[in-house]
Every structure is written in structure tokens, then in C-alpha cells.
Amino acid sequence: MLSRVADSLYWMSRYMERADGILRMLKINHYASQDDPESFTWRPVLKIFSNLEDDAIADMERNGKAVLQYMVVDRENPNSVLNMATRSRENARSVQDNITKELWQALNEFYHVVRNPRLETSLQVDDPITVLDSLVRQCMLYYGVTDSTMFRGEGLCFINVGRYLERAIQSSDILNVRFSDLSHDLERPTDTTYWKYLLLSVSGYALYLKRYRSGFEARNLVDQVLFNFDFPRSVLYSLNQLHRYHGRLKDEQNGEGYAKVDFAIGKVRSRVQYSDVQTISLSGLSKFLDELNSDFNEIGKALNQAYFANS
Amino acid sequence: MALADFFQKYPHDPKVWDEMHDADHVRPHYRNVCDFLSNIPVDELNRKEELARRLFMSQGITFTVYSSGEGIEKIFPFDIIPRIITAEEWRHVEQGISQRLRALNLFLKDVYHRQFILKDGIVPVDLIYSCPHFLREMQGVDVPYDIYIHIAGIDLIRDNDGTFYVLEDNLRTPSGVSYMIENREITKRIFPDLIPQNHVLPVTHYPSILLKNLMSLSPRRISAPNVVLLTPGIFNSAYFEHTTLARLMGIELVEGRDLVVENHRVFMKTTSGLQQVDVIYRRVDDDFLDPLVFNPDSTLGVSGLLSAYRKGNVAIVNAIGNGVADDKAVYVYVPQMIWYYLNEEPILKNVPTLHLSKPDEQKQVLANINKMVVKKTNESGGYGMLMGHVATEKEIEDYKKEILKDPRQFIAQPVINLSSAPCYIDGKMQPRRIDLRPFALCGPGGIEIVPGGLTRVALREGSLVVNSSQGGGSKDTWVINN
């Protein structure tokens, strides 16, 4: 496969995963803002998902409509869902011959839906959840079409490598957003409705209820989002998938590059696999998440050198 | 209200050949479709038009216009009423085009080798050597099977008596074939069953013929040669076509930056290292192909490509240097070429053309300029053209000055009344002017033309310019087996 094509597939997939993550994040925060209008702030979301200066964040943090407008449809915001959809589609457009027609159409439709001027209006006047849900559905369509139509070859591997790396980053970011409010203290008592929405937004609520019988506790939530082996949005699950799909790219002609990426993935994977909530609460959640973050960057760099450098 | 009324009111202009209607009647090959359309209520036809628009949009069959930093998606306007050609007319067109291509191909071989046609004084030497697309770099280069023109999109028009004329030979990188294929797909969706009922000949096998030809050109005798389509990139207005063709043929779509030349061989950069490329179907103009030889500022091409080509290590489609054969001043001599190389009478006529570098012809043109169409010899897409019958006096004066600066660059033709066909515009059937571009493929096994082509429409009332860059649209084109 052409290096440029691999690069484009990887980014097409990362941007879609990010759009999906942002949409889910906006959704739970909107719920939370309705429950607790007095103390709720959008600051953590804006801090993680935008490049805004502190002043600009201060102006916007209590204005939910402005935040939604900025994060979903603002053309000037490079991290808006609209721009994610545009970039994902541009990447797909340059590799149309390497993806199925169905996949291209799914991305193309998503792009046209987010750009529709009606969306902007209904985000302001109608129920934002309905709007966000309609966009999440577009993302689900993309996932379904990818899984059910794409040929099980190198292309799909790069798509999945991008998807799961991005998802691992997102999941650890979600924890970071929430715990930055709590100074990363796992013992501090918090409002449980927020946890509920967070779990709902990542389809993890039912799993949580079945698994943890002691109500909503921060440490259980961390356990599920970081370490659960079977929860499709946990960091561990994402890393296992990343490892699996990258493993299929093994090729004698590119042994050296492969080994480097494999090393970077293996390193962070074993770090997560052989940790638990107990050890993290001793060494500090903040430190653990920071280290994860820099490990993820290492993987990104290694991928670049091994596969995309030629493009 | 049904469409029947509109058909009754369909205007007839005696000076123009209408594809559907003669002075009194609907032509027999249009009858079936006319009956079908007459029974459709206008609302439903509007819905079908809307469906066609949505299908183009959702499939991303669009071109992007970049303005104010943001891309705007446009669709190439599509008229839902098919244009119909009879099997008999088609046979004539097919034979004419293949004859013409055989002669043009021999001409290219000749002009880049021994130049008999110049020595025999059939085509003037200075005309060839003053043509900017005549590339000395190609002199003496042997190309596989002596084929230069692998893909041609010859433009045909019909005068008021229905005679076909060749307007232009597009022998470099003709575009539009993806619209021939997609337009047919859209018609299948908006008028289910109409195509089989009318015995329309299929066009979908175009990509497989092209792929077969491309594979056969591989310099390496291996079972699975690497064939690629070289595109200028996503900003090119024909990018959609490049991806469609690559996808339909299952070949790699590459940009210049994906290729590298090493030791006179071309390679593509892949995730598992370099892989040799055997055949390049390029959609990049000659001038941008190799910055070492042609335009040094080009970033679209590949350094060293020409040397690999000259050594025969890679095949390039269409051949480099074809521009000398579709220069609009050389066009004048195509009938003579057919006599000279084939000793046959030309089947398709040329539009009578005057070349401004000949003093007597120049005089004749300048005196009658308001009855002429004046064109630049190496521009395409409807640019740099003067339509004498609609131009203002100032435009004519300015254009005359241009001509006198370098008369070699200009030709003049009488205004030809392109034929018209019914189009569905603003809820009414209205005649609009059309042309026809069939796509011919030449391979080692001969010349094949899929029955049909691209019919371009001048959507503005009275306009004679069908180019998409000048507000033209297109139609599905049927050759019916009657």
C-alpha cells in the first residue's frame, strides 16, 4: 500500500474517532449542565478539546449554547466537529479507490449533514441532545459500514490502528477532564449523576451496574475506563486492539519499522495491563495519565517513521 | 398536468437539426421515450430531477470550487432526458472515428521518426516545428506497439442537415468518461426499466477494456504488472474522475510525490518499501510530467520519468507529445493524413477551418469576423475563443490585435449551428444545443469504442458553448439497438 494512502486512512479514522468522542463528551456535559446550573462549568471540556486562551474560556464557560456552537459547527475552530468531518472526508477523498464506495458515501453524508445550515439553527433553538444524537448516529453508521464492508487487508489495519490509538487517547482524556476538577483525588466524594451520564455516553452504564455493586465511586469508574478487559472504550481494550491490528502489518520488507512500533505499543500496553486502581492511587492518577499521554505520542511518532515517512 | 402538452408546444427551429423532432414529427427512435415521458405528471418529473441531484451529491460526484478558503461542492449539471442515437448513426460515427485515429496514430509515429509526411509536403514543416506541443524529446523514441493514442475523446457536432462533423480531436488527456458511466447509473435509478425496454447498449465495460489495454503495455513480461493512474491531486477539477477510474479498474491512484525514479526505473513508495511501476495512465499534462525536462517548477510530476520512458522501462498512456496531432491548426490536415496514410476517403468531415497564418485566409477571416468563431490553436475548454456573431465591436477589435501579434496561434471556423435536443428545464421541455464525445480506446488488439459517450449541453438558451467551464451540463447518451 502507498505510504500516502496509509497515512490518509490513518488520519481519516483518527478524525472520525475524535469527532465521535467530542460529540459524546458534549452530550454528557450538556446533561450535567441541566442538572446543576449553579456550579456547572464547561471549562474542562474547553481546556481539553480546544486551543482557546484562558480569557476566552472564561467568557464562554457558562454559556452552553455558545460552547455547543463553537465545538460543533464553528468553521474557525480547528477542533470543531465540522472541521473533523471535513478533514476526515478530505483524507478519504484522496484515497477513494482504497475504501469501499459505501464507506465513502457514509463519510460524505456525515460531511453534508454537519454543514447543513439547518443544523446550526436547531442546535440553538431545539433540543441539543436530539441534534448531537443525530450526529452520533452518523458516526455509528461510519463504524458499521467500515466493519461490514472493508476488505480485511492492510487498509483496514491502518484504519483500526488510527481508531484505537485515538480512542485510547480520548478515554484517558475523559478521565483527565473530570478529575482535573477533583485535583485527581480518587477518594474525594463527588456528585454521582455526572458519573452516570459519563457511563451512559460511552455505553458503559449497564456494565458498571452489573460489575460494581457499591454505587458510584470514582475508583470503580477509573477501574472500568482504564482497566476493563472487555469494555470497548477502556484504555486497555483499545491498546489490545491496537496491538492486534498493528500485528497484522508485520512484513519482512519493513521489519525494522515494525519492530519499533511494536515496541512502543507493547511498552504502554504492559504498563496498563499490569497496573490497577490500588497502585495508581498510591503513585497518583495525574502522573499515570500524563505518562500514558507521552507514551501515546511515542506510538504516533513511531508509526510516522515506520509507515508514513515516505509520503 | 402531464408532459404531453409540452411536447406539443416543443418549439422547432428550421435552421437547427433537432435530435428528437423533424419539422412535423417525432423521429422514430425517440418515440418510445416520448410516449413514456408524456404520461408522467410534471410533479413526478420534478421529483426525479431532485432525486438525480441528491444521488450526485450523496455519492460525492462533485467538483470542488475553492473560494474564500473553503471548498464548495458543485455538481456537474445533469439533464434527465437521455440523448438517443440510432445504431445506424452510431456505426457511421464508430467507423469515422476509428479511421481518423488510425491515421492520427500513424501521423504521430511518422512525425516523431522519419517524417515522410513533412518531406512529401503534405503537412507544412514550419507548422509542426512551431507547435509548442511538438516535443523534440520524443524524436526517435519507440513506444510499445507504436500506439500513441490509447484514449481519445473526439468531439463531434451536427450541422443543420444532421451531418456529423469533427470539431476537435482530444488526444492528450481527454476527460469526461466517468460522467458517461455515472450518468447511465443515474438514469437506471430515476427511470427504472426504461433502459432495457429501449434496448440501450451498455457502456459499463469501458474500464475493463481500458485495464486490459493498459496491462498489455507492460514492459516487464509478468503476470501482474503494476498499473497506476497518475493524478495531479485532489484540487484538480477532474479528481472525481481519477478516483472513479482507479476504483473501477482496481489500480493504484498515485500522485507525483508517491513516485520516484531510480536507475531509469519508476517506483512507488509503499508501506513495505519501493515497488516497481510498469504502466502509468497519467492525467497530468506533458508539461508537468518531468521537472528535469519540461516545466522545472512542476511539483505534480516525477523527476527522471522521461528517461525511464525513453529507455522503455515504463509505459505512459497517452504517449508524451500527442499535442502536436490535436493542435487546432494541424487539425486542418487530418483529411489529407487519412488519404496519405490509409488511401481512404475520410468518413467524418472536418469543420471548414481557416488558418490565420496564411495571408489570404487571414484576409478572408478579418473581413467576415462577425460570422466566424475564432479559436486559439492550443487552448481547450472553451477558453480564448471569440464568437463573432455575439461579440461586441470592442471585443472584436481587441481580439484582432491579439491575432496580428501571432497569427500562427489562431484558426477560424464558420459558426456551426450545433444540433439541439430536448432538455427538462424549469418544468418544461426546451431544445438546447449539444455535442457528442465518444471515448475510443486503442490497444494492441485494435480500436474499441463503447457505444455512447458524453453528450454535453449548452444549458443557456441560444448558447453554442457546451464546455463545463462555461456553464455546460451533460446528458446520458443512448445508442439503441433498433
- Tens of pLDDT, residue by residue over B80-117, are 999 999 999 999 999 999 999 999 999 999 999 999 99
Does B287 lie in the same domain as B240?
Answer: yes
A154 vs B253: CB contact, 8 Å cut-off?
no
Q: Which whole number is the average pLDDT over A143-170?
A: 96
Does B358 lie in the same domain as B309?
Answer: no
Instruction: For residue B299, give how far its alpha carbon lies from the nearest alpha carbon of chain A (Å).
Output: 14
- Tens of pLDDT, residue by residue over A163-198, are 999 999 999 988 887 787 666 677 776 667 777 877
Contact of B355 with B332, CB cutoff 8 Å: yes
pLDDT computed for residue A210 by the predictor: 86
Q: What whole-number distance in Å separates Cα of residue A208 and Cα of residue B185?
A: 50
Does B359 lie in the same domain as B288?
Answer: no
pLDDT computed for residue A28 by the predictor: 84
pLDDT computed for residue A166 by the predictor: 96
pLDDT computed for residue A35 by the predictor: 81
B247 vs A307: CB contact, 8 Å cut-off?
no
Residues of chain B with Cβ-Cβ distance to A2 below 8 Å are 252, 254, 258, 268-271
B234 vs A93: CB contact, 8 Å cut-off?
yes
- Tens of pLDDT, residue by residue over A284-295, are 888 999 999 999
Q: What whole-number distance in Å separates Cα of residue B215 and Cα of residue B441?
A: 13
Instruction: For residue A65, give how far its alpha carbon lies from the nearest alpha carbon of chain B (Å).
Output: 25
Local confidence band at B390 (pLDDT 50, 70, 90 cut-offs): confident
Residues of chain B with Cβ-Cβ distance to A1 below 8 Å are 270-272
Residue B303 in domain: yes
User: Any idea what the CATH number is for the domain that residue B369 is in?
Assistant: 3.30.1490.270
Contact of A301 with A309, CB cutoff 8 Å: no
Q: Which whole number is the average pLDDT over B392-415?
A: 89
Residues of chain A with Cβ-Cβ distance to B270 below 8 Å are 1-3, 310
User: Any idea what the CATH number is for the domain that residue B265 is in?
Assistant: 3.40.50.11290
pLDDT above 90: percentage of residues in chain A? 60
Residue B136 in domain: no
pLDDT computed for residue B66 by the predictor: 63
Residue B380: give the domain boundaries.
352-414
Give the pairing type, strands B349-350 and B446-449. Answer: unpaired
Instruction: Characterise B250 by phi-psi region: left (phi > 0), alpha (psi -120 to 50), beta (else).
Output: left
Residues of chain A with Cβ-Cβ distance to B60 below 8 Å are 93, 96, 104-105, 108
Does B300 lie in the same domain as B224?
Answer: yes
**Length in residues, chain B:** 482
Local confidence band at B388 (pLDDT 50, 70, 90 cut-offs): confident
3-state secondary structure chain A: CEHHHHHHHHHHHHHHHHHHHHHHHHHHHHHHHHHCCCCCCCHHHHHHHCCCCHHHHHHHCCCHHHHHHHHHHCCCCCCCHHHHHHHHHHHHHCCHHHCCHHHHHHHHHHHHHHHCHHHHHHHHHCCHHHHHHHHHHHHHHHHHHHHHHCCCCHHHHHHHHHHHHHHHHHHHHHHHHHHHHCCCCCCCCCCHHHHHHHHHHCCCHHHHHHHCCCCCCHHHHHHHHHHCCCCCCCHHHHHHHHHHHHHCCCCHHHHHHHHHHHHHHHHHHHHHHCCCHHHHHHHCHHHHHHHHHHHHHHHHHHHHHHHHCCC
Residue B447 in domain: no
Among A99, A78, A85, CA closest to A9: A99
Q: Which whole number is the average pLDDT over B129-141?
A: 93
Q: Which among B313, B340, B370 is the end of a domain?
A: B313
Residue B396 in domain: yes
pLDDT above 90: percentage of residues in chain B? 67
pLDDT computed for residue A144 by the predictor: 97
Q: Which among B414, B437, B466 is the end of a domain?
A: B414
B58 vs A3: CB contact, 8 Å cut-off?
no
Q: What whole-number distance in Å separates Cα of residue B259 and Cα of residue B246?
A: 16
Residues of chain A with Cβ-Cβ distance to B239 below 8 Å are 93
- Beta bridge partners, A48, equal none
- Nearest residue of A to residue B247 by CA position? A97
Supply A11's cell numbers: 488520519
Q: Which whole number is the average pLDDT over B126-134?
A: 93
A108 vs B58: CB contact, 8 Å cut-off?
yes
First to last CA, chain B: 31
What's the structural domain count of chain B? 2
Distances in Å between the Cα of A64 and the Cα atoms of A123, A177, A192, A241 are 11, 17, 21, 35
Instruction: For residue A286, give how far its alpha carbon lies from the nearest alpha carbon of chain B (Å).
Output: 37
- The pLDDT mean for chain B works out to 91
Distances in Å between the Cα of A56 and the Cα atoms of A33, A66, B177 are 19, 11, 51
pLDDT computed for residue B134 by the predictor: 95
Q: Which whole number is the average pLDDT over B61-82?
A: 76
Higher pLDDT: A124 or B449? It is B449
Is it the case that residue B65 has pLDDT exceeding 70? no
Contact of B415 with B387, CB cutoff 8 Å: yes
- The label of the residue with cell 469533427 reads B166
- Tens of pLDDT, residue by residue over B246-289, are 999 999 999 999 999 999 999 999 988 899 999 999 999 999 99
Residue B89 in domain: no
Q: What whole-number distance in Å separates Cα of residue A109 and Cα of residue B57?
A: 9
Instruction: For residue A90, give how far its alpha carbon lies from the nearest alpha carbon of chain B (Å).
Output: 8
Contact of B155 with B350, CB cutoff 8 Å: no
Q: Which of residues 288-307 of A touch B (CB under 8 A)?
A: 307
Is it the case that residue B12 has pLDDT exceeding 60? yes
For A60-74, B65-79, B100-114, B297-311, which range has the lowest pLDDT when averaged over its residues? Answer: B65-79
B252 vs A154: CB contact, 8 Å cut-off?
no
Task: Tell me the range of A242-251, B22-31, B69-78, B366-375 where mean pLDDT is highest.
Answer: A242-251
Does B300 lie in the same domain as B245?
Answer: yes
Residue B10 in domain: no
Is it the case that residue B63 has pLDDT exceeding 80? no
Q: What whole-number distance in Å separates Cα of residue A59 and Cα of residue A43?
A: 10
Q: In what order do the strands lie in the sheet with B155-158?
A: B155-158, B164-168, B349-350
Higher pLDDT: A203 or B288? It is B288
Contact of B100 with B334, CB cutoff 8 Å: yes
Q: Which among B395, B414, B433 is the end of a domain?
A: B414
pLDDT computed for residue A189 by the predictor: 66
Is it the case that residue A87 has pLDDT exceeding 70? yes
Residues of chain B with Cβ-Cβ distance to A6 below 8 Å are 271
| Chain B residues near any Cβ of chain A (below 8 Å) | 57-60, 70, 233-234, 239, 243-244, 246-247, 251-255, 257-258, 268-273
Residues of chain A with Cβ-Cβ distance to B246 below 8 Å are 96-97
Is it the case that residue B225 has pLDDT exceeding 90? yes
pLDDT computed for residue B67 by the predictor: 59
Q: Which whole number is the average pLDDT over A140-152?
A: 96
- Nearest residue of A to residue B232 by CA position? A94
Among B317, B225, B321, B322, CA closest to B280: B317
Local confidence band at B416 (pLDDT 50, 70, 90 cut-offs): confident
